[in-house]
Chain A
């Protein structure tokens, strides 16, 4: 077949740039796929995890240190959450986990508050202290119930 050096060159440049674009889109635009590889598992049991999703972030002081890997029920029908944590992070044994919301209606994530214990949580261990998700509707429901029993909102505010 006829070879056209310029056309071949352009096609080559297209392929190189194209594959670079494929790689850029794959590894730079989204979450980097391999950043949590080699993390260690931790577990936590909550009374209520409404709104928490698989793969939700796990933060310490707002800094991402891991993600939720699975959510299920334990034998007592409480929510058992498995997490994958960055191995560089050393968590004291009395660390507590709470489910919080980013913004008013934003996504749920798990925030870890470090304790003061000298012992470190080992892979596969359970975080003992947990604080469940706040369900906004229930909160509002209680609030509205309070209005109903005490009458006018302004009075409620005044009390």
Chain B
């Protein structure tokens, strides 16, 4: 490839990225509009709480508990060398609340519910179900996209707190149950280290933003899928990949901008 062609290719890609971001913004505005302008669809919202939230419970709970156990084990083994195993609660709590809770929950929910959302919407595109709705003068944004995207924003903080609590339980189980740490020491170290405004607030801010990203990307990719079987699988795959990368990069900037105190 000649240098000119290379630069041209770069320009083409840059234009495409900007165009995609622009169309995502318009998409966001239209689903937010659909969510607040009547007809409102509370029943569809409840359906999606079930699909996205309840059906992600087991994977989030089990993963949270497992992550907590690993943190408990690793943390204990490291801290005990410095005679600081009393700080296990603080170490586990801060890791879970600040980073692992929101990030891992977002990744898990994307894998479980985001991919399902993208697959469902893209197969509705493929089988002309969305066109069918349009021909009945029912806005697909209203009945399909908005309930899913808004439900994703809503369930993410809930699932994140369940993940964190499951993680704390896992760490408690290892630290107090197996390693014989005093329960009071564990809990007081946990309680005194986690601050409301920046730790808990940051945790929920992250969860809300990750929920927004996961919901937006899944519905957007599904909605704009190529109407073929290959299009469905491409939409599903790219949803998981793009959301994961967006969550991890977004996490860095949120952490940096939010300014967690040491």
Would A and B touch once assembled, by the CB under 8 A criterion?
Answer: yes
Which chain B residue shows the least CB distance to A10? B54
- Which residue in A1, A12, A32, A55 is a CB contact (below 8 Å) of B44? A1
Question: Interface stretch among A18-26, A87-95, A115-123?
Answer: A18-26
Considering only CB atoms and an 8 Å cut-off, how many residues of chain B contact the other chain? 35
- Cα A3 to Cα B196 with chains together (Å): 39
Q: Which bracket fits the contact residues of A? A: 20 to 34
| Most chain A C-beta atoms within 10 Å of own C-beta, residue among B157, B161, B193, B194 | B161
Given A25-B200, A29-B168, A18:B195 Cβ within 8 A:
no
| Most chain B C-beta atoms within 10 Å of own C-beta, residue among A11, A21, A29 | A29
Question: Contact at B196–A33, with CB atoms within 8 Å?
Answer: yes
Q: Is A15 among interface residues, defined by CB-CB distance under 8 A?
A: yes
Q: Is A152 among interface residues, defined by CB-CB distance under 8 A?
A: no
Q: List 21 A-B contacts (CB under 8 A).
A: A8-B46, A11-B47, A11-B50, A14-B57, A15-B49, A15-B158, A18-B155, A18-B161, A21-B158, A21-B165, A24-B165, A25-B164, A25-B200, A26-B196, A29-B93, A29-B164, A29-B165, A29-B168, A30-B97, A30-B200, A32-B196
A residues with CB within 8 A of B = 1, 3, 7-8, 10-12, 14-15, 18-19, 21-22, 24-27, 29-33, 53-55, 57
- Sample of 18 more A-B contacts, CB < 8 Å, known A14-B57, A55-B261: A1-B44, A11-B46, A11-B49, A14-B50, A15-B49, A18-B161, A19-B158, A21-B165, A22-B161, A25-B200, A27-B196, A30-B93, A30-B193, A30-B194, A31-B192, A31-B196, A33-B196, A53-B262
